[in-house]
Amino acid sequence: MNLVIDVGNTFSKIAVFQNDSIVDLEKVTFEELFFTVQKKIEKFPIKASILFSVNHDAEELSAFLKEKTCFVKMANDLKLPFSNNYGTPNTLGQDRIALAAQAAHSFPFQNLLIIDAGTCITYDFLDDQKKYLGGGISPGLRMRFEALHNFTAKLPVIIAEEIDFIIGSNTSESMLSGVVNGIVYEIDGFITEYSKNYKDLTVILTGGDAQFLSKRLKNGIFANSNFLLEGLNTILELNKTND
């Protein structure tokens, strides 16, 4: 079994994989992370592990995993199931690498657009020869609402909620319409433009806001909230040793 750990800004996800399937998944705070990982290793026959952490110092956890498992630290120079044709490959975010890895693994030799709707919205494209070409980055839902509040004098703090209107009848509704509908139109627009240039495009939507947005999009998509974890597991499988 594999242990896959994604350390986020607020919460961390810990997944236990049997081959390609998640058999156990838990979301914890960073303070709870080390203890929870210990419990997982006690409970499951974990042979290998991978850790992805951008903003937190996880050296103690890395040392523990290296002692207990065949450990892989997520990095830009690992073996991947696609060729990285990004102009500056060393600057490509490791989360985007993991998403591209899973797309190449799950949908081989297809034109692929992976949309990760989280803090930022990232667009990543692989062609049908498994070449990663790049994509785009824009602000996510929460970031857009916070920007409206922080960079104006009077706009309130609001959060995303279900809406069925275009015309906002008050300030909060206008903000909701602008942000929620704006993101939907943006994503649909990107999908339409990619589809013009690349036939038989497969679109994968993931990230924290994926479920909220998926029902609103006109274009057909494949939604999977655990795609990043699956990508990390795919990378682990390619890079772990058999010792």
Q: Answer with the one of 73, 95, 129 that is the final residue of a domain.
A: 73
Q: Which residues of the chain fall short of a pLDDT of 70?
A: 242-243
pLDDT at site 86: 95
Whether residue 91 is found in the same domain as residue 58? no
Q: Does the residue 242 lie in any domain?
A: no
Q: Does the residue 31 lie in any domain?
A: yes
CATH number of the domain that residue 98 is part of: 3.30.420.40
pLDDT one-digit tens code per residue, 162-182: 999 999 999 999 999 999 999
Whether residue 204 is found in the same domain as residue 98? yes
pLDDT at site 59: 87
Q: Which residue numbers are catalytic?
A: 95
Q: How far apart are CA 107 and CA 110, in angstroms?
A: 6
Q: Is residue 13 a known part of a binding site? A: yes
pLDDT at site 242: 62
Q: Is residue 212 a known part of a binding site? A: no
Q: Is residue 8 a known part of a binding site? A: yes
Whether residue 99 is found in the same domain as residue 216? yes
Whether residue 103 is found in the same domain as residue 177? yes
pLDDT at site 243: 52
Whether residue 34 is found in the same domain as residue 92? no
Three-class DSSP labels, the chain = CEEEEEECCCEEEEEEEECCEEEEEEEEEHHHHHHHHHHHHHHCCCCEEEEEECCCCCHHHHHHHHHHCEEEECCCCCCCCCEECCCCHHHCCHHHHHHHHHHHHHCCCCEEEEEEECCEEEEEEECCCCEEEEEEEEECHHHHHHHHHHCCCCCCCCCCCCCCCCCCCCHHHHHHHHHHHHHHHHHHHHHHHHHHHCCCEEEEEECCCHHHHHCCCCCCCEECCCHHHHHHHHHHHHHCCCC
Q: Which residues contact 230 (CB under 8 A, 6 or more apart)?
A: 20, 22, 102, 106, 224
Residue 195, Cβ density class (10 Å: 0-12 exposed, 13-18 middle, ≥19 buried): middle
Q: Is residue 116 a known part of a binding site? A: yes
Domain count, the chain: 2
Q: Does the residue 99 lie in any domain?
A: yes
- The distance in angstroms from the start CA to the end CA of the chain is 14
Q: Answer with the one of 48, 73, 98 that is the final residue of a domain.
A: 73
Q: Is residue 86 a known part of a binding site? A: yes
Range of the domain at 197: 83-230
Q: Is residue 7 a known part of a binding site? A: yes
Whether residue 87 is found in the same domain as residue 68? no
Q: Does the residue 29 lie in any domain?
A: yes
Whether residue 91 is found in the same domain as residue 119? yes
Q: Is residue 211 a known part of a binding site? A: no
Q: Does the residue 239 lie in any domain?
A: no
Q: Is residue 142 a known part of a binding site? A: no
Task: Give me the percent of the chain exceeding a pLDDT of 70.
Answer: 99
Q: Does the residue 191 lie in any domain?
A: yes
pLDDT at site 103: 96
Q: Answer with the one of 13, 38, 73 that is the final residue of a domain.
A: 73
Q: Does the residue 238 lie in any domain?
A: no
Q: Does the residue 236 lie in any domain?
A: no
pLDDT at site 51: 96
